Chain A
Amino acid sequence: MPNASDTERPPPSPTRTAAPGPRDVKGTRQALTVARAVKLVAFVAGAVLILSFPNMAPNPYILSAGVVVASYACTATAWNFMGGFTGYISLGHAAFFGLGAYATGLLIRDLSWPPFVAWLGAGAVVVLITIPVGIAALRVRGASFVIVSIAFVLILLLVSQAWKDFTGGSNGLVVPRPFPDLLRPEHHRVFFYLFVALLAVMLLVWWVIDRSRFGAGLKAVREDEDKAQALGVPTRDYKLVAYLVSALFTGLSGGMYALWFGDLDPIFQFSILLGAYMVLMALLGGVRHLYGPLLGALIVGGALEYFKLEYGDTQLHLVATAVLLGVVVLFTPNGIIPAATDLVKRFGPQDSSIREMTAAELLERNENEARRAADE
């Protein structure tokens, strides 16, 4: 426990191991190697499981549910570029999903672009639109930012519903299928792998940013934005870049969804619910972790698809989602990954070498050692 006397460096004492001794270093290194090995095994196992899913899926319906979950994993991970790094909670990320989807569809329909060129073009469109939106939205923080993010998705919903000549309005927009020759199950299988590839790119970019100087600046914004700025971090520019990256990947996920699903309706693309799912998934898994949103998407997405299958006629899947959100906030406010890590740490070896000692602990330890010496 911190106390005022801690600020004076304690006198050098043989019992106090401020710098790890030789044995500790060896132990720490071993622990690091073990941790690295566990991570590697988990990574390989996870990758193999995900990649072999289409072959294990018993029927095309389950396969299509897998595609939906993969698209959730993409959107939640994309959301986390903003929410996880900077702590800015956007409930309106469906705006970018919808923009990416509609831009892809319209570029194919109206300009006859090849599907995947249109998809990339849609990414550029999303970035261009997000620049002014981001500059405006990032002028506010906290709850105000949440409201602004919701406002943007509602504006786009109304525009896409009302502008019937352009978007098809509530009649929807049919996006031509990029692989017209493929049968349904094959189509699902291809798109499952496309979503997984997109997810892999996102995870790689997230990892690069997470360990970078840029990432350190973003995390400082999350902790204390004024303080970060006072230390010389250009917080507005950093936030805007994170917002753009997040919007780009969300838009690309939306575009991919459009190519896969082939039919867009404003009410489902520009939906608050979709934005809320992204937040829920990321929070559930843990926003500070690379795989947090992916894990959250597997759980929430899996649960959603299951509830839809079982109780599809009712709104029970929404109730179940709400209960899940409540449970997350109550029991694992930092997400599953941190909760699990803490649990492992609690039962694992305690590393006392970097732990600070209070005067009382030091005294107790000295006494114990004196007693042991006396016993000998």
Chain B
Amino acid sequence: MSDPDGLATEGLTKSFGGVRAVDGATVTFHQGRINALIGPNGSGKTTFFNCVTGMIRPDSGTVTYRGRDLTGRPPHRIARAGIGRSFQLCRVFPRMTVLENMLVAVRRTRLRELLVGARQAEDIAKARGLLVRVGIDHLENVEAGNLSYGQQKLLELAGVLMGDPETIMLDEPAGGVNPALIGRIGTLIRELNAEGRTFLVVEHNMDLVMSLSHHVVVFDRGRPIAEGPPAVVREDPRVLEAYLGV
């Protein structure tokens, strides 16, 4: 099932030394849906993720989005093409305040717009709205390094939203956070998806993946071995074999 509007890869390959971390992965993600990318540890999910977002240059293969070839583009180009991302180990700017963290994501290109003060009323209003949405607006003047890990995750998500991405790629959004917060992140993802944003989520928490996603792609040894709706993928013998080694 190919979608000319969506995010897709064709024969994507990346080796580290002799190890093919991503091995000819051809995947199409469903536009407007919550896509999950799962697989055992070391199956190449994060490398694949980094190839798509430009952090790593693939050895071969292509990444296309909305009919544009994004292969090997630098990360900021991919971000500006409408694909936002979070990091596996959540990353914020620790010595900037929560609000300053948000304002970094304001994108301007003209010199005049770049040299005006960073604290423009419209940008601050937008940032505050997003902070309210994720529930950390009361912390706007706190240095991000002083937030709890869960709060940093929420800040990272709010920062990604600051760039108005159509597609949001999350690397383990539920990793290392408490169950209550996992529920809240899940709700946020559903709400944002209902507004028309596409998600691509790498996740180990199977409960979250199965309840959240519309489409699941299973990776093993650097390439997809199965895909489909969660209920179908869960019963797939190839998936069980990859996970359980039976």
Contacts and interface: CB of A to CB of B under 8 A. Distances in A.
B154 A7 contact: yes
A223 B93 CA distance: 5
Given A213-B106, A229-B79, A354 B114 contact: no
B151 A7 contact: yes
Interface in A178-211: 208-209, 211
A232 B76 contact: yes
B148 A4 contact: yes
Interface string A1-29: 01111111100000000110000000000
Given A4-B178, A7-B150, A7-B181, A219 B96 contact: yes
Contacts of A223: 93-96
Interface string B20-63: 00000000000000000000000000000000010100000000
Contact of B104 (A3, A4, A228, A234): A228
Interface stretch (B64-72, B138-146, B188-196, B230-238): B138-146
Contacts of B186: none
Contact of B76 (A6, A19, A214, A234): A234
Contact of A224 (B91, B148, B149): B91
B138 A18 contact: yes
Interface string B101-138: 00111111000011111111000000000000001001
A231 interface: yes
Interface string B68-89: 0000001110011000110100
A217 interface: yes
B75 A226 contact: yes
B225 interface: no
Given A2-B148, A227-B91, A356-B139, A235 B76 contact: yes
Contact of B79 (A214, A220, A231): A231
Nearest to B104: A220
Contact of A211 (B118, B135, B147): B118
Given A4-B150, A232-B79, A356-B139, A227 B114 contact: no
Contacts of B150: 4, 6-7
Contact of B91 (A5, A214, A226, A234): A226
B75 A230 contact: yes
A7 B115 CA distance: 35
Contacts of A209: 115
B93 A211 contact: no
Contacts of B80: 232
B92 interface: yes
B93 to A, nearest CB: 4
Interface residues of A, number: 36
Contacts, number: 126
Contacts of A219: 93, 96, 100, 104
Contacts of B163: 231-232
Contact of B177 (A7, A235, A236): A7
B106 to A, nearest CB: 6
* Listed residue (A5, A9, A232) with the most chain B CB atoms within 10 angstroms of its CB: A232
B160 to A, nearest CB: 7
B159 interface: yes
A73 B80 CA distance: 39
A348 to B, nearest CB: 17
Contacts of A5: 178
A9 B138 contact: yes
Contacts of A233: 76, 104
A93 to B, nearest CB: 24
Contacts of A212: 114-118
Nearest to B90: A227
Contacts of B246: none
Nearest to B91: A227
A138 interface: no
Given A18-B138, A214-B114, A227-B87, 20 more contacts: A4-B148, A4-B178, A7-B135, A213-B103, A213-B108, A213-B113, A216-B100, A219-B93, A219-B96, A223-B95, A223-B96, A226-B75, A226-B87, A228-B93, A228-B104, A229-B76, A230-B87, A232-B105, A233-B76, A233-B104
